[in-house]
A and B are shown apart, each in its own frame.
Chain A
């Protein structure tokens, strides 16, 4: 049973970078970017192909992130230069990526057994599960510090201001388009990192593994937002931690549903209902307050 929740923790850490990517697009830039489904799978398929060909994992990791960033740049260019709605731009790139991913992977599913994965680069614990957890934690901790630092720099302030008040930033000498392009590149690079991690964690890459993954990220960010408002927090570092906590709570709910014996085929429905619940809760409670 405890292993059940350990798995949820592990998966939530692997999906953490993607949740942080959604945090950047949705909360920092105020852009609904759903390139995610495509760039997540892109990270996984690039990892699968290169690792199967015995590329060193420390070379594959940055390549996966660059691939994801390129996908983000495509969406951002369509959005900023052609003035097309961000949601549509994301859908277009995501749809196109499905074919691109299939071409890269060559078939719909590639197993990753007996390869040198990121999870067996370090062997500190005898138990393989703990070792995986340790590696994932190491990556996410580095990521927390990097992202927190970025958002506190002058460039980070410019990023946050662009999403918050684009009229102001133009008058402050900021090219909003360039900032959005860089932001979406970072966000989708992080998403691809999640694809890279999950493919190695579950030991296969599948062309359909990204379908609906954006909702997991959205759910994590929404939980984080609820925590932020509830605890009245504006500290950037804490907000990043809340997103990761959101990712864990999300996986916990899914693990719990499975433990209760819910048919795995219903998992997407459970996911959608859970996100609906998080979104609706504050609205329903405020309506109830008013009714009283």
Chain B
């Protein structure tokens, strides 16, 4: 569970170009929830996600994960709970490392990286099995550099990598923005499957109203750093696509 308590974030505080990215937001995200966040540019969506991931620290307020106060923790320490998929498909994987090596790092996300060789036959087999579920034919290319793959393939693998280790929270920051429609579908379906099968709390930021309508069991709209609308499962299932379009009218 993620508990966001009275979080505010200001940029350039006290200067003429001061920006209030988040304005006293409180939000409770329950275990296994698939939360979709929409909002126009500058509404604070990305700042909210960055604050949950630990990329930015809040100006005020408190954030808890599974009952632990994580407010001051840097990004690499929050990775104990949080896995991420980035908007830019290149950010989630190391291009010069092989697919296998990328998966090895992901499998150790919450653990120490020891000076022992961790890639063995059993690990290879496990990775191949996971990758073959994607149906992209990448299971025979695990020794190729990640950089050889397309953006869609890399994004799908980044998502798979996020569940190689114990994951409570999955953050998806416009993961399909740079992808073609077919790859986008693969990635979102996989995210949906991981949320349903493994019960991972998932937060998806998107500009795509159709995706916001189709996926997730809770929908919030941010506007000028505040939560404008918060639709629970019942309210969200009652929404039609034009209803959501109207929010931006």
Interface mask (B11-44 → A, CB under 8 Å = 1, otherwise 0): 0000000000000000000000000000000000
A153 → chain B, closest Cβ, in Å? 5
Q: Confirm or deny: B71 has a beta carbon within 8 angstroms of a beta carbon on chain A.
A: no
Q: Confirm or deny: B95 has a beta carbon within 8 angstroms of a beta carbon on chain A.
A: yes
A177 and chain B: residue at smallest CB distance: B76
Report the interface size class on chain B.
35 or more
Q: Which residues of A contact B80 (CB under 8 A)?
A: 173
- State the CA gap A174–B114 with chains docked (Å): 12
Report the interface size class on chain A.
20 to 34
Q: Which residues of B contact A164 (CB under 8 A)?
A: 94-97
Cβ-defined partner of B91 (8 Å) among A149, A150, A165, A234: A165
Q: Confirm or deny: B86 has a beta carbon within 8 angstroms of a beta carbon on chain A.
A: yes
Q: Confirm or deny: B61 has a beta carbon within 8 angstroms of a beta carbon on chain A.
A: no
Interface mask (A160-175 → B, CB under 8 Å = 1, otherwise 0): 1100110111111111
Q: Confirm or deny: A263 has a beta carbon within 8 angstroms of a beta carbon on chain B.
A: no
Query: Which of chain B's residues 94-135 have a Cβ closer than 8 Å to chain A?
Result: 94-98, 101-102, 104-106, 108-111, 113-119
Q: Confirm or deny: B84 has a beta carbon within 8 angstroms of a beta carbon on chain A.
A: yes
- State the CA gap A66–B111 with chains docked (Å): 28
Whether A168 lies near B114 (C-beta < 8 A) is: no
- State the CA gap A161–B117 with chains docked (Å): 16
Whether B114 lies near A154 (C-beta < 8 A) is: yes
Whether B116 lies near A161 (C-beta < 8 A) is: no
- State the CA gap A150–B113 with chains docked (Å): 12
- State the CA gap A165–B84 with chains docked (Å): 14
Q: Confirm or deny: B192 has a beta carbon within 8 angstroms of a beta carbon on chain A.
A: no
Whether A158 lies near B113 (C-beta < 8 A) is: yes
Whether B115 lies near A150 (C-beta < 8 A) is: yes
Whether A149 lies near B93 (C-beta < 8 A) is: no
Q: Confirm or deny: B53 has a beta carbon within 8 angstroms of a beta carbon on chain A.
A: yes
Whether B93 lies near A172 (C-beta < 8 A) is: no
A99 → chain B, closest Cβ, in Å? 35
Whether A171 lies near B75 (C-beta < 8 A) is: yes
Which residues of A are at the interface with B, using a C-beta cutoff of 8 A?
149-150, 152-158, 160-161, 164-165, 167-176, 234
A-B contact pairs, 14 of them (CB 8 A): A152-B117, A154-B104, A154-B113, A154-B115, A156-B115, A157-B113, A160-B97, A160-B101, A161-B105, A167-B91, A169-B105, A172-B79, A175-B76, A234-B98
